[in-house]
């Protein structure tokens, strides 16, 4: 019986499923059918594979070929199955040793000339294959660097189908071709800007430091030209490097999104995403037909999502951020299945104080009516603003102010504060103060604590809502961590209240 089999990997979002690719060759009218819920790109594999096999110098079997991708009920998409389909057909035709090809996972798109082209999502695919117990993976050489990032994987990079066939004992001449280069457009990585570039704005710098130390979401409000955008862009520079798990997660998201440059290895720095304010919900949370691809919110996983001119974003976009802010992940349902992407980002929003942007200080220059000002911020308020722990006013700076501390100095303090927080939160699933729920924080302080008393006092006088009190407490803990204190003091609480307060709004 002419049967060939091998393995490939199907990605649904970030989840990898091992797919068994079987080819049956029947002595009948020559035909080639591909079954197992392929999408259009995958159906076209038939034509690519046929041309590639002939161009590789092998004979295309003159049989009725049925290729099945099992589990047959899982929708499969993309061109990454080409190599596995070709290998299974050749194995079924007896052109190579079927037993040697069967246990190997094959990933890669085939060119008509038989060359192997790189595909997206190799990192999660290889990780999935290794997790399923198939550690030997053939990948296009352009993806080899990315595939090697997976621990425990036995990666075999290949340039050409003939090369792969020759490994399995096919009698074929391996052409001397130039490998197809990786065509991924690597995101433009600007050198991380230094905080010393920001003149003045001592309060805002302090707020940024607290936000970095505690992972708190941040809103910056100020007139144009005061450095809101500069400040936000310098936040990633204050954050520590990603740890090993986070690094792999972030790299996998960027691999699926097609924005990962394998030459630079795992993504170790927190990513920074600043979508334009005309972005659609699909661009932010992810979208696309079939299985949705990750959007800016997921690409900012473990990093910073910066919304400049936040009130100008469409209401639907701002609302769509509520789910990731709450759960730290996005579940996108499309026809071909639900994709689950992580999206635990630090949200930074910048806004002008009013539509004309001049409502600063006493607001004498402002030409906006009070109603227009209110409506401007009404778009942000509600559930979204509820989750923003720090709201800072960025005033117009005075001239000739001395440059402040550099990013390196501040990052040192941030790192120390994060270490303290982690030590305290050891044994829980939280890593930063911003993730910790209020009851836990209150429980670790004691009811008699002067800070607790003061907070209760503020709530009783209706200066703070109960939720606002929790938020102030979280920030106070971060300030205490920065100061190296065991417990937040009344002074820390006072500063937290100031950082929470924007124009008297608590």
Partner 1 sequence: MAADHLEAAGLEVLDRNWRCTHGELDLVASDGCELVVVEVKTRRSTAFGTPAEAVTWRKLARLRRLAAAWLSAHDEHPQSVRIDVVAVTVPRRGGPQVEHLKGVA
Member of 27, 188, 400, 402 binding partner 1 (CB under 8 A): 27
Our CB check for partner 1 shows the closer of 35 and 456 to be 35
Q: Determine which helix (DSSP H) or strand (DSSP E) holds 376, and give its type and residue range.
A: helix 370-378
**Residue 149 and residue 13: Cα distance in Å, rounded?**
19
Using CB under 8 A, pick the residue from 30, 94, 288, 437 that binds partner 1: 30
Q: Which is nearer to partner 1, 60 or 345 (CB)?
A: 60
Q: Which has the closest alpha carbon to 84: 103, 71, 97?
A: 103
30, 97 Cβ separation under 8 angstroms: no
Give how many residues touch partner 1 by CB under 8 A. Answer: 5
The answer to whether residue 29 forms part of the interface with partner 1 (CB under 8 A) is yes
**64 versus 375: smaller Cβ distance to partner 1:** 64
Asked if residues 458 and 470 have their Cβ atoms less than 8 Å apart, the reply is no
How far is 85 from 254, CA to CA, in rounded Å?
A: 26
* Selected range binding partner 1 among 25-33, 79-87, 95-103, 295-303, rule: CB under 8 A: 25-33
Alpha helices in 258-292 (DSSP H): 281-285
Least distance in angstroms from the C-beta of 327 to partner 1:
52
Between 28 and 40, CB nearer to partner 1 = 28
What distance in Å separates the CA atoms of residue 196 and residue 231, rounded to the nearest whole number? 10
The CA-CA-CA angle for residues 254, 294, 232, to 5°, reads 70
The distance of closest approach from Cβ of residue 35 to partner 1 in the complex, given in angstroms and rounded to an integer, is 18
Segment interacting with partner 1 (CB under 8 A) among 5-13, 22-30, 230-238, 474-482 = 22-30
Q: Enumerate residues 6+ apart whose C-beta is below 8 A from 231.
A: 198, 201, 204, 205, 208, 220, 394
Which listed range, 24-32, 169-177, 318-326, 405-413, lies at the site for partner 1 (CB under 8 A)?
Answer: 24-32
Q: Which is nearer to partner 1, 29 or 364 (CB)?
A: 29
Q: In angstroms, what is the minimal distance from the CB of 15 to partner 1? A: 39
Instruction: Report residue 46 as tokens.
Output: 């038939």
Q: Which residue stretch of 26-34, 356-364, 420-428, 445-453 sits at the interface with partner 1 (rule: CB under 8 A)?
A: 26-34
Among 28, 40, 399, 462, binds partner 1 (CB under 8 A): 28
The CB-of-242 to partner 1 minimum distance in angstroms stands at: 56
Stretch that binds partner 1, among 23-31, 188-196, 200-208, 456-464 (CB under 8 A): 23-31
Answer for which of 33, 43, 62, 367 binds partner 1 (CB under 8 A) is 62
Asked if 137 and 7 touch (Cβ cutoff 8 Å), the reply is no
Among residues 214, 288, 171, 300, the alpha carbon closest in space to that of 499 is found at 214
The C-alpha atoms of residue 295 and residue 282 are separated, in whole angstroms, by 7
Q: How many other β-carbons are positioned within 10 Å of the β-carbon of residue 154?
A: 13
Q: Which 8-state DSSP code applies to residue 79?
A: S
CB-wise, 46 or 228, nearer to partner 1? 46
Minimum distance from CB of 261 to partner 1 (Å)?
Answer: 44
The least CB distance from residue 94 to partner 1, in Å, is 16
Residue whose tokens read 């740890």: 243
Q: What is the per-residue burial (b if ≥16 Cβ within 10 Å, else e) of 288-306?
A: eebbbbbbbbbbbbbbbbb
The nearest distance, CB 27 to partner 1, in angstroms, is: 5
Q: Compute the least distance from the CB of residue 54 to partner 1, in Å.
A: 12
Q: Which is nearer to partner 1, 27 or 364 (CB)?
A: 27
- What's the closest the beta carbon of residue 31 comes to partner 1, in angstroms? 9
| Interstrand relation of 293-294 and 337-342 (parallel, antiparallel or unpaired) | unpaired
Residues in the site for partner 1, rule: CB under 8 A? 27-30, 62
């Amino acid at each position: 019986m002419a049967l060939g089999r091998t393995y490939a990997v199907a990605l649904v979002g970030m989840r990898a499923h091992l797919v068994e690719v079987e080819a049956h060759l029947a002595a009948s009218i020559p035909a080639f059918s591909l079954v197992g819920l392929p999408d259009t790109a995958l159906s076209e594999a038939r034509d690519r594979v046929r041309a590639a096999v002939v161009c590789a110098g092998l004979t295309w079997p003159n049989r009725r070929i049925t290729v099945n991708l099992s589990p047959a009920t899982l929708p499969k998409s993309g061109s990454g199955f080409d190599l596995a389909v070709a290998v299974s057909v050749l194995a079924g035709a007896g052109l190579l040793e079927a037993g040697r090809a069967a246990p190997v996972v094959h990933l890669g798109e085939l060119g008509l000339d038989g060359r192997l082209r790189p595909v997206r999502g190799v990192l999660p695919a290889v990780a999935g294959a290794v997790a399923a117990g198939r550690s030997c993976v053939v990948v296009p050489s352009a993806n080899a660097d990315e595939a090697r990032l997976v621990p425990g994987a036995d990666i075999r990079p290949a340039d050409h189908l003939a090369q792969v066939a020759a490994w399995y004992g096919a009698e074929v001449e391996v052409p001397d071709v130039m490998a197809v280069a990786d065509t991924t457009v690597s995101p433009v990585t600007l050198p991380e800007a230094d905080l010393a570039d920001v003149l003045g704005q001592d309060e805002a710098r302090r707020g940024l430091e607290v936000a970095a130390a505690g992972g708190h979401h941040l809103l910056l409000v100020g007139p144009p030209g005061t450095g809101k955008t500069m400040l936000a862009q310098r936040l990633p520079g204050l954050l520590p490097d990603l740890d090993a798990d986070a690094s792999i997660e972030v790299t996998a998201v960027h691999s699926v999104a097609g924005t990962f440059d394998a030459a630079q290895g795992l993504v170790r720095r927190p990513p920074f995403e600043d979508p334009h304010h005309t972005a659609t919900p699909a661009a932010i949370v992810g979208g696309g037909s079939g299985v949705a691809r990750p959007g800016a919110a997921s690409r900012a996983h473990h990093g910073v999502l910066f919304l400049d001119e936040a009130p100008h974003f469409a209401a639907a976009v701002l609302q769509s951020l509520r789910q990731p802010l709450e759960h730290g992940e996005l579940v996108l349902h499309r026809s071909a299945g639900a994709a689950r992407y992580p999206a635990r980002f630090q949200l930074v929003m910048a806004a002008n104080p009013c539509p004309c942007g001049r409502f600063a200080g006493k607001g004498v220059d402002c030409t906006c009516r009070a109603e227009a000002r209110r409506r401007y911020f009404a778009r942000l308020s509600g559930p979204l603003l509820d989750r923003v722990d720090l709201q800072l006013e960025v005033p117009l700076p005075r001239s000739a102010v001395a440059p402040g501390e550099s990013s390196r100095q501040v990052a040192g303090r941030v790192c120390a504060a994060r270490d303290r927080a982690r030590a305290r939160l050891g044994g829980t699933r939280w890593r930063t103060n911003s993730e910790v729920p209020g009851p836990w924080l209150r429980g670790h302080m004691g009811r008699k604590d002067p800070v607790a008393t003061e907070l209760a006092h503020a709530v009783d006088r209706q200066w703070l809502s109960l939720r606002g009190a929790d938020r102030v407490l979280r920030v106070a803990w971060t300030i205490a961590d920065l100061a190296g204190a065991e417990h937040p003091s009344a002074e820390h609480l006072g500063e937290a209240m100031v950082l929470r307060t924007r124009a008297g709004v608590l």
